[in-house]
Structure 1
Amino acid sequence: MTKLYEADLYGPIKDHFIKQGYRVNGEVHDCDLTAVKDGNLIIVELKLTLNIDLLLQATRRLRLTDLVYIAIPKPKKQSRKRWNDVEHLLKRLEVGLIIVTVTGNRKSIEFKLHPEPFTRVTNKNHRKKAALLKEIEGRSADYNIGGSNKRKIMTVYKENSIHIACYLKKLGQMSPKALVALGTGEKTPSILQKNYYKWFERVERGIYALTNEGIANLKEYPELVAYYTQKLEGKGE
């Protein structure tokens, strides 16, 4: 396969703008490509990969004109989620994106994004924000280390499961209704029935107990066990 260079991206983009009536020049004051028509200036920065240097370069060009594009070869492999994130970032930066496809001697371009004003207010995801705030409010304390990706993450669901497990360990077999009355939360019946962590078992209709696996797993969360044990003892005072 023939090695690709940044200069290989220049030709098809130049041809496109010339056909649109622009005057095109390469390497003008550190700009890879400039296209001018009726007083409108377009700047295109060329790179073989989309990286932070290219984004910094593009944002510097925004000091000169609102019409800034970055151009890269068509990625060989890219997950849909990551590509959506890339497009979202470029929209926020108000930078356009040109994809250059090279097949043998044939080169074609596709304008994936045009530089347009980004409206922050209408682009907020209120549903996800509400879910995030709900998760934050549901945690009793900060049990996770930011930046960890190989450690077990404490979620509201897991903490709720630990809460239930602590009470079952301390008080023995109980019904969901009795646990809810002690403050384990409205999701208690669902957590017990789904038994996602395999910590619980139904010993008879409407009565649950803690499994050996549940007892063993509680040892991994001493802070939470101490917190909920103290909370339960406070209810008995």
Structure 2
Amino acid sequence: MKESDMYTHVSHVLLEIVKCDNVYAEVSNFDVVAVKNNISLIVEMKKQLNFKVIEQAITAKHCADYIFIAVPKPKQYHSKIALNLLKQEGIGLIYTTDERKEYDSRTNGSTIQFWGKRVRRKTYDIQKQINHEFHSRTVGGVKSGEGITEYSEMIDAIKLFLKRKDWVTVDQILENIQTYYSNPKSSLMQTLKSEWNSDWLEWKVENRKTHFRLRIAA
């Protein structure tokens, strides 16, 4: 089972069993983030329960109220050392599976193996990183470059806008396109001038202002 396939099962567990209000994918560096009232949950997904994912989960403890690891249900059992470490660190465990069960057809047998402990000292709230419109449409666990990102959506929107225009300034672009940059004008200017965008975009300086347009095919 791929991590991207696991995401469907994990999201259903969070919605159907935990009764979360919303589930989001790929928030900051975390695979899955869920929200229930004012409580936040982080789930790190992996195809195997190993110390790398345990370390990732421990690192996430300062960002949410509950931390889980989600892995495919083992054919036999997981190491007691690994399971005891999870319980010691207060990290929950979700098992995903494709086993069909009539009473929970949406979760397909996936369930919470055990809960962790609620984090009492958060130094940062992951909810601040949630973009509801974007993160609710993404899929967790996809490989880099295969899924949509805020950057790719922004670039696609700029390309669509420029198709209907000739030379435009960055201010004109920002009047029509929303970016995720904290400093939109300077950051977008730098992005559009970057070499990796030169195959589809050209720019010039006129009257001390930089103008952009889609590159005309030869």
TM-score (normalizing by structure 2): 0.47
Higher helix share: 1
Higher relative contact order (CA 8 A, sep 6+): 2
